[in-house]
Structure 1
Amino acid sequence: MKFVKNRYAVLFGFGILALILSFLVRTALLVWIYPQSGLHITNIPAIYGKGLIFDIGVALFFTIAYAFYLLILPQRLNNTLFNRIFTYTGFFLALMILVFSFFAEFTFWGEYAGRFDFIAVDYLIYTYEVIENINESYPLPLLIGGVLVFTGLLTWLLSRRGTFRNSFQSNTSFGKRLLTFCTLLGLLLLHVFFVNNTWAEQSKNRYAQELSKAGVYSFVSAYLNNELAYDKYYLLEDNSNAFSRMRGLLQSPDSRYLDNGNSIYRSITDTAIRVAPNVIMVTIESFSADFMERFGNTQHITPVLDSIAKQGLLFTNMYATGTRTVRGMEALTLAVPPTPGQSIVRRKNNENLFSVGQIFEQAGYESTFFYGGDGYFDNMNKFFGNNGYDITDRHRRQFVEDEIATTRTNIPDSAVQFSNAWGICDEDIYNAAIRSADAKYAAGKPFYDFIMTTSNHRPFTYPSGKIDIPSGASREGAVKYTDYAIGQFLKNISAKPWFKNTVVIFVADHCASSAGKNEIEISKYHIPCILYNVPGYAPQEISAMCSQIDIYPTLLGLLHWSYNSKLYGKNVLEPGYQPRAMVSTYQKLGYLEPGKLLILSPQQKAQCFSWNQARNEQHTAPMDSGLLKNSMANYQTAYFLFKNGGMKK
């Protein structure tokens, strides 16, 4: 034990404690997820081996500053009150952060079945919503108290073992201190230059990938890689070839390209009589297809949506492009494939883009974005406000000035019956949209509205007395309330004079979770979409595989509109439509065709899989060159156009 009876006793004690705690967290997560993970016992050594490497990296990052302090601290100050206070305080604070992160990992894993990623980075930025959400979802005083007590207990145990005494009473020469510091620094530099978070992602099983990681390490990695340059990290072909193929994929009998070369700008011409109804799109938070009875659910929690699915045009094989609300918004406004990293909604230079809103604007419509929370969150107001939408939301940051080019309206307290961390309940946001529609109708203005709901989100709270499941009890309760609010919305607007001439779209932004044993769990991207009250069309189910980006090209085709387009979406009902969908994580870009999946990854990797939809099974398959070229054409050209201004109006 002579090794730890020197000035570095506390440092090594902290490091060993960090490794033990991380081992316990990894073990607990493994036990939690093992039954449905698809992991084999042979996967476990690699999980713990890689995990240990990442954990050592975390311990080095936490202790390197203290190691430098110990190097330069004169021996005469080693056993002083100053050093004791500094060491105890620093140890307690560092350990408290580590313990808190371990507690947070369990809540994050319960929601996303993964280690910290871009979502956790966002949560650090948007502290109001997150703190309120945690406060409403969990007993926050008990959690904080538990962290403090547990940290205090561990500090006391190390003190009882003499760890601090060994450090304070030691007489370690400068030469030994320098050797120790240089060794630790060298190990840290090796970690920085040779160990990357993508090393954990070499396994084909997503759970194995996530378990191999360390939460703090993943958080830092996500923070440093907020946007990934497609042309740096992914497979490329010549731009002219990529655009040539993309133009071929988008070509249709009713389209004509207006630009040559690296462009998809084209005119869509329909010779039938144009119909121009109002359009209201209800984007439902975290709403998986399998919540509905139509898709196999037996809990009877969506009676309204199941009913209107039989009365409208139901897409039975539609997939979300991602796993975040802003990714869904990107797909539903810009109709573009997801580019790696953050959604365009969150990025710089995302103003004045060609959008669905512009198509309606050119047709004389007034477009409004309705959100039950504060649209400052996730940059939503800035994105919608600078792309042709007026804003109606719930202001909570009066000191924040969003740089938007349109009107922003606050939903007053008098119009709110219930709110939680994420915003007002769905009934209240629907009522705000109805008031706006009444005013526009009275002024003789057609309208296009984008409504974003919030009730189907943790903490799953909603007004009491509405449904038979207590508020905050479960996601099933939130789903049932979401469905109930839709029923009230339809009941209220059905009596309006503008209803007969209004199409209502119900679509999810993404599924309730994305967890699964595969890198991209396709079933966790399957969402419902209903076009309700479309004039001149009988109820039907549309079974062709498609994407969120196809909703408006299909609707405008049904309405016989002629318009110019930079959208990547296609009319699913047109002759010759080739089924496909795009599904993604922050780094993995999936291109889906019936029975096939191709995944593009950083380091210029591409993997091909066969996919059995009925069994939700994926198996490695030989590379399909056509699928690869189609995938690259979509993702490469979309990235090129955004980065080079080609998506602008």
Structure 2
Amino acid sequence: MWSKIFPKRFALLKAFVLIFLSISFLVRLSLYIWDFKEVDQGIFNLLHTFLTGLLFDIGTVSFFTLPYLLYLLLFPTKWYGTIVDKVITVLGFFLGVLIIYFSFFAEFTFWDEFHRRFNFIAVDYLIYTYEVVQNINESYPLPILISSILALVALNIFLVHRLGYFRETYHNTTTLGQKLFAAIPWFLISVIFALYVNNEQAEWSENRYNNEISKAGIYSFFAAFRNNELSYTEFYKTIPEKVAFKKVKNALAGSSNNFVHPQTNGILRTIKNSDSATTEQKPNVIFICIESLSGSFLNSMGNDQNLTPNIDALANEGVFFTNFYATGTRTVRGMEAITLSIPPTPGRSIVKRKNNTGLFTIGEVFKEKGYDRNFFYGGDGYFDNMNTFFGGNGFNIIDRGRGFLLDKSIKTKRTNIEDNEVTFENAWGVCDTDIYNKVIKESDKAHGMGRPFFDFVMTTSNHKPYTYPEGKIDIPSGSGRDGAVKYTDYAIGEFFRIARTKPWFKNTVFVIMSDHCANSAGRGELDVKNHHIPALIYNLRNEQPKKVVTMSSQIDIFPTLFGLLGWDYDSNFFGMDVLKLKPEDGRAFIGTYRKLGLLKDEHVMVLGDQQTSNFYKWNPVDNNLKGLPMDNDFLENTISWYQVADYLYTHKGLEIKH
């Protein structure tokens, strides 16, 4: 029977399948050992993890076999073993094995950062090859890795040759009928996996680590390639539109809010913050979005390593939000939440999706108040579509400028960070000190012109490979995350030391927040702790330092700032002024590209893309989620926020209405 499944002409195909399955097993075993403390152990969980993985490996390798199977079927018997046959066979085998080893090595680097198999992030990285290759080159010994991969490929070819697989492939009389019989099972497996199997079927456990290890990395990559934009109405639970909008409007309604079109499917409203006791302020606003700054890094949030003395000092002198959460786990997700004040959308962030220009962002509020709006980024802002998003929504661009605005129709002012302004640069851009110096230089210019300015500053130093200028802190560059955090804090301190000497400082409010946490992996559906970030507003006029304990998330920070400044403005935002909420009314939106959650009073509702919903009690001490009986009212409230957000995006309800 074995000879019928793999006749002699299929000998090299058999070798390839065995190599693929063997290496995939070793990768899965390595990941299992790597996170042994996180996986659910026991013989049943072990077997389920590896047997599920084997099934997905067989499905994956079936797709690899298709080009070679077609060649084997179409190549005439009389030409077996000719020079043409040998060249095509050896070259194809070499490329196939090279792809296997390259992808599996890449999986380890991806797991090291995200503790996940390939997903839509890996797909996005294909587009931004410069930053990614540079990051890998600066983080890992790339020449050694490439040499190792080539050596392993050569070793495999040598062993396969010594075992006679090439000779058997060339010297045989396998007929077309025998080849068809052997090929049909592989075609059937490919069809079954293409039509009836999806990556989510590997998610059999409540433990996310077991699920991820059960998957096949290459299969996960192509699954993400097909599904990095998810239709909310197709994949998630819904309720009637009118019910959803009514619930959201009731939550957003207040004595200071008046809906512009109360009978329509929209949330546009006029917000009144001014009264007889409040004078509208128009200070400059510099918003600093810090890369990957988890709340757990700050002494003021429980850390004892003294990595962030400057940020801690600012937190103690400003309005400090201690119960504050990032909506997602990537920079573009944070940007979406901050600029649009919207819960996370499933799949890609709006920053990277179509129809993402001409939207009602926080920049529109600043524009109506007479502000110049600027987006600062230390790398090239074409990365993650940032320049198109910010430029297409009215911001001037200040970046490193190797590339271009992806959308040629966008007309915006772009300023380059010149070589003579750079003291240190890595794969992701200039160091934080350099970007802050550029902010100060541009602020001096704006102040000289007499116009208020709003700056959105995105930092890069707290990112792998964790390199920064030597001699600034007592931790060597490139030695790990702690050093990057400490340098990030050092750069903040230097920025404020210089800014305090400027004539515009007294009339400038600073908002500091993280884009997301340093880690995103967790055992449960959503890792709540790995969404907990710091946020603070500093240098407000006539505002005493305070700690805000009301639960909130990134969508709330600018509505809160606008309230503190006494601004009346039109709003299309889902965020609220946290200082006007009762503590028990606080809530936070958290999610991944597939899971959407609402956190309130240590209760979490999680919506999944298989129209699932799960209700949990979150324990902040051990970060565990304990399943609870479904609360239908909580469920409908959660659905309403996400359904309305998706509706407004897909029906152009987020666009600026003139």
* TM-score bracket for this pair, using the shorter chain length: over 0.9
Displacement of 1:296 in angstroms is: 2.0
* Match of residue 30 from structure 1: 32
Q: Against the structure 1 CA distance between its residues 91 and 40, is the aligned structure 2 distance closer, same or farther, given a 3 Å change threshold?
A: same
Displacement of 1:2 in angstroms is: 3.9
Indicate the SS of the match to 2:618. strand
Indicate the SS of the match to 1:193. helix
Alignment of 1:16-415 (within 5 A): 16-259=18-261, 260-270=263-273, 271=275, 272-397=278-403, 402-415=408-421
CA distance in 2, matches of 1:332, 1:36: 32
CA distance in 2, matches of 1:136, 1:615: 35
CA distance in 2, matches of 1:295, 1:94: 50
Indicate the SS of the match to 1:79. coil
Contact 1:504 1:533 in 2 (8 A): yes
Indicate the SS of the match to 1:170. coil
Contact 1:5 1:166 in 2 (8 A): no
Letter in 2 for 1:264: I
Asked if 1:616 corresponds to 2:623, the answer is: yes
Letter in 2 for 1:424: V
Displacement of 1:445 in angstroms is: 0.2
Letter in 1 for 2:200: T
Displacement of 1:36 in angstroms is: 3.2
CA distance in 2, matches of 1:361, 1:40: 59
CA distance in 2, matches of 1:478, 1:575: 36
Indicate the SS of the match to 1:554. helix
Contact 1:121 1:223 in 2 (8 A): yes
2:516 corresponds, among 507, 510, 514, to 510
Displacement of 1:537 in angstroms is: 1.0
CA distance in 2, matches of 1:556, 1:227: 32
Contact 1:382 1:402 in 2 (8 A): no
* Match of residue 646 from structure 1: 653
Letter in 1 for 2:228: N
Letter in 1 for 2:442: S
Asked if 1:545 corresponds to 2:551, the answer is: yes
Indicate the SS of the match to 1:35. coil
Contact 1:240 1:261 in 2 (8 A): no
Contact 2:513 2:535 in 1 (8 A): yes
CA distance in 2, matches of 1:346, 1:276: 32
CA distance in 1, matches of 2:136, 2:250: 49
Letter in 1 for 2:601: P
* Match of residue 429 from structure 2: 423
Name the TM-score, length of structure 1 as normaliser: 0.98
CA distance in 2, matches of 1:423, 1:450: 16
Letter in 1 for 2:452: P
Letter in 1 for 2:86: R
CA distance in 1, matches of 2:216, 2:185: 22
Indicate the SS of the match to 1:457. coil
Indicate the SS of the match to 2:9. coil
* Match of residue 609 from structure 2: 602
CA distance in 2, matches of 1:484, 1:404: 36
Q: Against the structure 1 CA distance between its residues 462 and 273, is the aligned structure 2 distance closer, same or farther, given a 3 Å change threshold?
A: same
Displacement of 1:402 in angstroms is: 5.0
Q: Deviations over 1:349-371 (max 9, x none)?
A: 11110010000000000010000
Indicate the SS of the match to 1:109. helix
Q: Deviations over 1:459-503 (max 9, x none)?
A: 111111101111111111111100000000000101111111111
Indicate the SS of the match to 2:88. helix
CA distance in 1, matches of 2:410, 2:433: 27
Letter in 1 for 2:137: N
Displacement of 1:15 in angstroms is: 0.7
Q: Deviations over 1:428-451 (max 9, x none)?
A: 111111111111111110011000
Q: Deviations over 1:284-315 (max 9, x none)?
A: 00110001112222222111111111111111
Q: Deviations over 1:195-243 (max 9, x none)?
A: 1101112321110110010110010011101200001111111111100
Displacement of 1:398 in angstroms is: 6.2
* Match of residue 457 from structure 2: 451
Indicate the SS of the match to 2:317. coil
CA distance in 2, matches of 1:549, 1:416: 33
CA distance in 1, matches of 2:490, 2:117: 34
Q: Deviations over 1:565-594 (max 9, x none)?
A: 000000111044611111111111111111
CA distance in 2, matches of 1:106, 1:297: 29
* Match of residue 523 from structure 1: 529
Displacement of 1:399 in angstroms is: 9.8
Q: Deviations over 1:78-109 (max 9, x none)?
A: 11111111111111111101101111111110
Indicate the SS of the match to 1:351. coil
Which has the higher mean CA deviation after the structures are superposed, 132-141 or 562-571?
132-141
Count residues in correspondence: 649
Letter in 2 for 1:553: P
* Match of residue 469 from structure 2: 463
* Match of residue 575 from structure 2: 569
Give the unaligned 5+ runs of structure 1. none
Contact 1:316 1:541 in 2 (8 A): yes
Displacement of 1:506 in angstroms is: 0.9
Displacement of 1:603 in angstroms is: 2.2
Contact 1:382 1:403 in 2 (8 A): no
Contact 1:256 1:267 in 2 (8 A): yes
CA distance in 2, matches of 1:420, 1:575: 43
Percent identity among equivalent residues?
48
Contact 1:234 1:603 in 2 (8 A): yes
Indicate the SS of the match to 2:113. helix
Indicate the SS of the match to 1:128. helix
Letter in 2 for 1:579: G
Indicate the SS of the match to 1:282. strand
Displacement of 1:261 in angstroms is: 2.2
Name the TM-score, length of structure 2 as normaliser: 0.97
Runs of 4+ in 1 over 6 A off after TM superposition: 398-401
Letter in 2 for 1:622: P
Q: Against the structure 1 CA distance between its residues 94 and 575, is the aligned structure 2 distance closer, same or farther, given a 3 Å change threshold?
A: closer
CA distance in 1, matches of 2:78, 2:32: 48
Superposition RMSD on alpha carbons, in Å? 1.3
Q: Deviations over 1:366-418 (max 9, x none)?
A: 01000000001111001000101110000113697754232111111111111
CA distance in 1, matches of 2:539, 2:42: 50
CA distance in 2, matches of 1:63, 1:403: 44
Indicate the SS of the match to 1:496. coil
Letter in 1 for 2:218: V
Give the unaligned 5+ runs of structure 2. none
CA distance in 2, matches of 1:227, 1:324: 15
Which has the higher mean CA deviation after the structures are superposed, 450-459 or 194-203?
194-203
CA distance in 2, matches of 1:399, 1:648: 21
Displacement of 1:50 in angstroms is: 1.0
CA distance in 1, matches of 2:313, 2:520: 27
